[in-house]
Amino acid sequence: MNLLIRGGRVVDPSQSLDAKRDVRIENGLIAQISEHLEPDDWGFGETGVVDAENAIVAPGFIDMHVHLREPGQTHKETIATGTAAAVAGGFTSVACMPNTKPPLDTPALITEVLRLAGEAALARVYPIAAITKDRAGRELAPFWRLHDAGAVAFSDDGSTVADARVLRQAALYARDVPGVFIEHCEDPALKGDAVMNEGDASLRFGASAAPGLAEDVIVARDLLICGETGKPFHLAHLSTATSVDLVRFARSRGTACTCEVTPHHLLLDDHRFTDFRADAKVNPPLRGQRDCEALRAAVRDGTIDVLATDHAPHTREEKAGLLADAPPGFSGLEVALGAYALALPDLPLERFVALLSANPARILGIPGGTLRVGSLGDVTVFAEERWTADVSRFQSLGKNTPFDGWTFPRRPIATVVAGNLLMYRGRLAARTPV
């Protein structure tokens, strides 16, 4: 299928392009970018046209941190519903975390995820494999064979690799395996059974709480292991002011590390907890206002490389339980674009686009993230339009978001994967498997 995206402002930081252009996709690849193109310019086959007037045309957005819950927890989400949520939210690719049941720690499981993603035929899915077997933090996962099967990165996300020796050995062994180590930074001892951040709100509630220090000590440790072993590390969902300071310090010493921040850590602090509702429970927990501000500053000054949702769907029943029992996490894919824009109103568009496309593509070593001729025909079209999030319209099975009812200044208009228009103004199209 050929597609012409017409009349939009093309913002592609990978080629320093910011101009009104038409984009033509042919055979799944970017074929031509020009000031004015007509559908019948080339005339081969049927050409669809996407009207992008008053909208911005960008390389397809990549969410490098999602939980698709399959295999094992398909009551929360499936690869089909999770990738539907992705295209609804303007994402053409997602990288999925391996804390499924069982965890993605064998080549066969990686193959299975890719097969299910192919069947769903919506957003591209890049599986992330576990760092340790069964995510238990003791024995190493078979890095080379997982890479062969299609794993693009490694992570025990959901948990920190608690044993520093194990993590160091893993980083040394896997140094030459393509695929960054993505670390979830929370010290299990300092974290304990905490349900929220240690601060005014937790003191008021008498809730078990963990300090920001639980993240900071692991960020410091991981940056040192990264520097010493030379294995590239990517720090997931940073949530504290000290964490981003530590990243700045490590980079000043030449450490090859990258990091991401979520929409909720940019916008919400621990005062979101009301009446003990678990709708604000997430790992790492929502911190203080000062941390939110430090994270936004770290995006603006370039310390943060990537915006990622940590899309973590759960059922209503699970999230309606007691604070102590309810699982952590939010369904993020379908509010992310708006939430990022709300959090970062003064961020130049070119930076906004890079944080969602070129940067995650580079860190994961995956194609995409650019509209150069010959690259993947994956495009996200978005507009500066106000809209109100409505969880009941989510494609995701997870209806758990603290952003329900929020009004955002930016929204996805169209999601194009390999030249297929999969979403246009909130409506999803079924894609024919290739």
Partner 1 sequence: MQRRNLLDLDELEAGELRGLLDQAQRFGASPPRRDLLRDIIVVNLFFEPSTRTYTSFAIAEHLVGADVIALPPGSSSLGKGETIADTALTLAAMNVRVIVTRHPESGFPYRLAESFEGHVINAGDGCHAHPTQALLDLLTLRTEFGRVEGLRVALVGDILHSRVARSNILGLQALGAEVLLVGPPTLLPASMERGRVKVLRSLDDVLPHVDAVMLLRIQRERIAAAVLPELDDYARNYRMDARRLELLAPHAIVMHPGPYNRGVELTEEVFDFRGWRYAQQVAHGVSARMAVLDYVVNGLPVSPAPPRPESILV
Q: Which is nearer to partner 1, 196 or 355 (CB)?
A: 196
Smallest separation (angstroms) from partner 1 to the CB of 195: 9
Chain contacts with partner 1 (rule: CB under 8 A): 199-200, 203-208, 275-276, 317, 320-325
What is the residue whose two structure tokens read 């804390």?
A: 99
- Provide the CB-side half-sphere exposure for 390 (13 A, CA): 5
Smallest separation (angstroms) from partner 1 to the CB of 321: 7
Smallest separation (angstroms) from partner 1 to the CB of 324: 5
310 is catalytic: yes
Tell me the residue type at 205. Answer: F
Q: Which is nearer to partner 1, 276 or 424 (CB)?
A: 276
Residue 127 · residue 136 · CB < 8 Å: no
Smallest separation (angstroms) from partner 1 to the CB of 353: 40
Compute the distance between CA of residue 225 and CA of residue 305 in angstroms, rounded to an integer: 20
CA distances from 337 to 118, 352, 355, 412 (A): 25, 10, 11, 7
Smallest separation (angstroms) from partner 1 to the CB of 287: 14
Strand partners, 4: 24, 49
Residue 188 · residue 156 · CB < 8 Å: no
Compute the distance between CA of residue 27 and CA of residue 383 in angstroms, rounded to an integer: 26
Q: Which is nearer to partner 1, 32 or 315 (CB)?
A: 315
Q: Which is nearer to partner 1, 196 or 236 (CB)?
A: 196
What is the residue whose two structure tokens read 């180590």?
A: 181
Q: Which is nearer to partner 1, 212 or 263 (CB)?
A: 212
Closest of 394, 395, 416, 412 to residue 403, by C-alpha? 394
- CB contact set of 317 (below 8 Å; sequence gap of 6+): none
**Active-site hit among 12, 216, 310, 378:** 310
Q: Give catalytic residue positions.
A: 310
